Amino acid sequence: MAQDYYQTLGVARDASADDIRKAYRKLARKHHPDLNPGDKAAEDRFKKVQEAYDVLSEPKKKQMYDQVGFYSENGAAAGAGEKGEPHMGFGGFDFSDAFSRGGNARHSSGGNAADFQDIFQQWFGRNQGAPAAAAPQKGTDLEYGLNIDFWQAIKGTQVKLNITRQEACATCGGTGTRAGANTVCPECNGTGNVTQQAGAMKFSLTCPRCDGTGRLRNKCAACAGDGRISTTESVEVRIPPGAQQGSRLRVAGKGNAGTMGAPAGDLYITLRVEPHPLFRREGDDIEISVPVRIDEAGLGAKIEVPTIDGRALLKIPQGTHNGQKFRMREKGVLNSRSGKRGDQIVEALVQAPVVQDERTKELLREYAQLHPEDPRAGIWVQV
Ligand SMILES: [Zn+2]
Ligand SMILES: [Zn+2]
């Protein structure tokens, strides 16, 4: 007969987890093989105590034991454990009814089969119906960051990216199964059932090896049955002209492959645009600061300024002051979506001359005599 775990530990059926633990420790010490060298009976008792504690100390196992009178790691093989004794919890109940899997009508005479199925799902978290893996699932999206320089962003470019992604296995076409007929399950010889003999009792169980199908699915060797393999692939990405910092590009179908032929996810690339030492991007506008001499600022001038197209002439008026900004229309970035160009904004940085020669000093003194007015006059009014 199967042991009564509560009896083995010498505790009541409603004993608390704490009581169970205490009882186990006491008995384990008492029957420990180290303390009973050569005592076979003590060793057996020690093993039984261990087994009882293993089940009663774990809520899920304990729940199963309390409900059906035994515990087994594998619900389908229940009662056929190494203990070599049938469990009598059901008193003659035909085990095969309780353990036939969902959707399996071979042993559907037992009215309780559905209930047991529920219990097993609860214990093993396994769906006894269609395996979850059978449903094709769309592949997941991939996110990559990509650094491009200022000019690549403005002019657009093609970039080759090495992407590590899950690809549909070419060997099996994503099915995970090797081509050809599946082999007959050697465990049950293709019947889907195995017979277990325990003492005087014989019972038929769903074959655990093939899940009652009678056949072993030949796993594809290339992908180990997953249907997908991880590969590093070179993906060509076209960056459109005018791409901006933080833009997110989508490359359809270059995410991870789906399972069982379901569509792949997408690849998303987020752009990081490196700054330029001179040009600053402000959306589709370009901003730049350029030095201006005092004679140019004072007299007005046509000055050469850099643009993203090369050099261009900018007319600055008489009396240009430091920090004054000028707009050069449509000298900014071409926006590939609107088809329009932004502007370039030029800031004038009026520079004082570095004077070393006498002649220039003379000229500046002369200038001062001509313009003796206080440039800070406006400030005093406000103080
Ligand atoms: Zn494969
Ligand atoms: Zn089998």
Q: By percentage, how much of the chain surpasses pLDDT 70?
A: 82
pLDDT at 220: 85
Ligand 2 centroid – CA 217 distance (Å) = 11
Ligand 1 centroid – CA 185 distance (Å) = 21
Q: Tokens 């406006």 sit at which residue?
A: 378
Ligand 1 centroid – CA 103 distance (Å) = 28
Note the ligand closest to the C-alpha atom of 221.
Answer: 1
Strand partners, 99: none
- Tell me the per-residue pLDDT of 86-114, one tens digit each, with 9 for 90 and over: 433 333 333 443 344 433 334 433 444 44
pLDDT of 370 higher than 90: yes
Ligand 1 centroid – CA 225 distance (Å) = 6
Note the ligand closest to the C-alpha atom of 222.
Answer: 1
Ligand 1 centroid – CA 47 distance (Å) = 45
pLDDT of 301 higher than 90: yes
Ligand 1 centroid – CA 239 distance (Å) = 34
- Tell me the per-residue pLDDT of 25-82, one tens digit each, with 9 for 90 and over: 888 888 887 878 888 888 888 888 888 998 898 888 888 788 777 777 654 333 333 3
Note the ligand closest to the C-alpha atom of 260.
Answer: 1
Contacts 24+ apart (CB under 8 A), 70-78: 70/2, 74/208, 75/99, 75/120, 75/123, 75/124, 76/101, 76/205, 76/206, 76/207, 76/208, 77/196, 77/205, 77/208
- Point out the least confidently predicted range of 225-239, 289-303, 324-338: 225-239
| Contact in structure between 302 and 293 (CB atoms under 8 Å) | no
Ligand 2 centroid – CA 165 distance (Å) = 35
Between 116 and 290, residue with greater pLDDT: 290
Ligand 2 centroid – CA 241 distance (Å) = 61
pTM here? 0.52
- Ion ligand 2: residues, CB < 5 A: 185, 187-188, 207, 209-210
For the chain, the average pLDDT equals 82
Between 75 and 358, residue with greater pLDDT: 358
d(CA 127, CA 16): 32
Note the ligand closest to the C-alpha atom of 226.
Answer: 1
pLDDT of 275 higher than 60: yes
Ligand 2 centroid – CA 214 distance (Å) = 4
Angle, CA 60 vertex, CA 59 and CA 64 arms, to 5°: 115
Ligand 1 centroid – CA 171 distance (Å) = 5
pLDDT at 225: 81
Ligand 1 centroid – CA 28 distance (Å) = 50
pLDDT of 271 higher than 60: yes
Note the ligand closest to the C-alpha atom of 188.
Answer: 2
Ligand 1 centroid – CA 168 distance (Å) = 8
Ligand 1 centroid – CA 262 distance (Å) = 14
Ligand 1 centroid – CA 223 distance (Å) = 4
Ligand 1 centroid – CA 267 distance (Å) = 23
Ligand 2 centroid – CA 194 distance (Å) = 7
- Which tokens belong to 271? 């752009």
